[in-house]
């Protein structure tokens, strides 16, 4: 098996799962993670930004690389390059719905072409020195058959595991998750099937396990600005949501590590999305969110973090009393 039966895995997320981001997840219990999605052609042509995706920190006990592409020759070359690096698995993206990926016939677009998808996967497997898995989305929300056919084909082509996102590509990352289709695939495959989609709280995790069957689970957007979700899922009722001070401290550490990794100017610029993620759903006022665009120096960041430490308004905590099941909770100071 590629993963322990109850593994909770951080998904590959473009623009997010770099070393500083993964470090934050590790601090809160994440044991399995993936790099950002790697474009095969960019890797083969030696794009400097893409090559950085192959870096691994010393504290990462398990790390997989994910690749996207469709041309068998380019995928073969990319697989041989990645084999020279220290990864525990190579995952083939057959589920990305992003327009820039789909228009090239890759990601979710490639999964709709059964024969081409299998040939592309086989090219990776034959040229990789590590186990190769695949990440797919359901192909039909009414019947499991098209998705099951693809999953079985990948299993026959040598996939060591398959992650199934229980939404159609056109749904992107919102809407209902088809747990029953994931369950059906788990019943019919001999390899590990990882359930994915909509995990933003322990409640949603338990729903997935209950309806899709037991096994590894992968989460993506649920961890954005919320690395505590790994502890929440592991410790259940023993979990204590972070206080404003802890949210501020984690945010600051994440951003300072990002600045150290990329340089201050670039680090602060790309960290704006992270700041919004940490604030999302936690009752911070719009006026404070509007200040994020003005963070252009470390001194600005320090000042902003001081405001985060003050916490949300009392109105948020009153709202939370009426909505105890809300995800991404923050506790009263």
Q: In whole angstroms, what is the distance from residue 306 CA to residue 304 CA?
A: 5
Question: pLDDT band at residue 332, thresholds of 50, 70 and 90?
Answer: confident
> In this structure, are residues 27 and 260 in contact, taking their beta carbons and an 8 Å threshold?
no
Question: SS in 3 state form for the chain?
Answer: CCCCCCCEEECCCCCCCCHHHHHHHHHCCCCEEEEEEEEHHHHHCCCHHHHHCCCCCCCCCCEEEEEECCCHHHHHHHHHHHCCCCCCEEEEEECCCCHHHHCCCCCHHHHCCHHHHHHHHHHHHHHCCCCEEEEEECCCCCCCHHHHHHHHHHHHCCCCEEEEECCCHHHCCCCCCCHHHHHHHHHHCCCEEEEECCCCCHHHHHHHHHHHCCCCEEECHHHCCCCCHHHHHHHHHHCCCCCHHHHHHHHHHHHHHHHHHHCHHHHHHHCHHHHHHHHCCCCCCHHHHCCHHHCCCHHHHHHHHHHHHCCCCHHHHHHHHHCCCCCCCCCCC
Q: Which residues contact 329 (CB under 8 A, 6 or more apart)?
A: 241, 282, 320
| Entry pTM | 0.95
Express each pLDDT in 26-51 by its tens digit: 999 999 999 999 999 999 999 999 99
CATH tag, 8-238: 3.20.20.70
For 86: left if phi > 0, alpha if psi spans -120 to 50, otherwise beta; the answer is beta
Q: In whole angstroms, what is the distance from residue 286 CA to residue 274 CA?
A: 16
Express each pLDDT in 117-152 by its tens digit: 999 999 999 999 999 999 999 999 999 999 999 999
Give the chain's end-to-end CA distance (angstroms, integer). Answer: 43
Question: pLDDT band at residue 17, thresholds of 50, 70 and 90?
Answer: very high
In the chain, where the domains are located: 8-238, 244-315
| For residue 256, pLDDT beyond 80 | yes
Q: State the chain's mean pLDDT as an integer.
A: 96
Tell me whether the CATH fold assigned to 8-238 matches the one assigned to 244-315.
no
Radius of gyration of the chain (CA): 20
Q: What pLDDT score was predicted for residue 279?
A: 96
Q: What pLDDT score was predicted for residue 314?
A: 87
Which class does domain 244-315 fall in?
mainly alpha
> In this structure, are residues 221 and 173 in contact, taking their beta carbons and an 8 Å threshold?
yes
> In this structure, are residues 261 and 20 in contact, taking their beta carbons and an 8 Å threshold?
yes
> In this structure, are residues 121 and 78 in contact, taking their beta carbons and an 8 Å threshold?
no
Q: What pLDDT score was predicted for residue 333?
A: 77
Question: pLDDT band at residue 20, thresholds of 50, 70 and 90?
Answer: very high
């Amino acid at each position: 098996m590629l993963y322990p039966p109850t593994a909770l895995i951080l998904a590959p997320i473009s623009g997010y799962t770099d070393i500083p981001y993964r470090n934050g997840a590790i601090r809160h219990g994440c044991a399995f993670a993936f790099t950002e999605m790697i474009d095969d052609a960019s890797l083969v042509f030696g794009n400097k930004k893409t090559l950085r995706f192959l870096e691994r920190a010393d504290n990462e006990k398990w790390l997989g690389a994910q690749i996207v592409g469709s041309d068998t020759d380019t995928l073969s070359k990319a697989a041989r390059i990645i084999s020279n690096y220290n990864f525990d698995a190579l995952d083939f993206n057959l589920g990305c719905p992003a327009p820039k990926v789909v228009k090239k016939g890759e990601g979710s677009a490639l999964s709709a072409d059964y024969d081409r998808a299998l040939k592309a996967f086989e090219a990776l497997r034959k040229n990789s020195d590590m186990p190769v898995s695949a990440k797919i989305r359901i192909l039909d929300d009414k019947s499991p058959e098209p998705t099951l056919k693809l999953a079985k084909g990948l299993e026959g082509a040598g996939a060591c595991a398959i992650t199934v996102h229980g939404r159609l590509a056109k749904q992107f990352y919102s809407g209902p998750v088809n747990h029953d289709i994931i369950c059906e695939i788990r019943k019919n495959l001999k390899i590990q099937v990882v359930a994915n989609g909509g995990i933003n709280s322990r409640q949603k995790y338990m729903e997935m396990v209950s309806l899709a069957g037991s096994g590894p689970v992968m989460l993506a957007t649920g961890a954005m600005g919320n690395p505590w979700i790994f502890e929440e899922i592991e410790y259940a009722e023993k979990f204590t949501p972070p206080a404003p001070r802890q949210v501020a401290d984690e945010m600051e550490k994440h951003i300072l590590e990002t600045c150290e990794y990329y340089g201050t100017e670039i680090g602060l610029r790309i960290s704006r999305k992270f700041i919004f993620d940490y604030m999302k759903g936690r009752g911070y006022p719009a006026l404070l969110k509007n200040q994020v665009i003005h963070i252009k120096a470390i001194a600005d960041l320090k000042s902003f973090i001081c405001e985060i430490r003050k916490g949300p308004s009392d109105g948020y905590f009153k709202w939370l009393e009426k909505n105890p099941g809300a995800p991404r909770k923050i506790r009263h100071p």
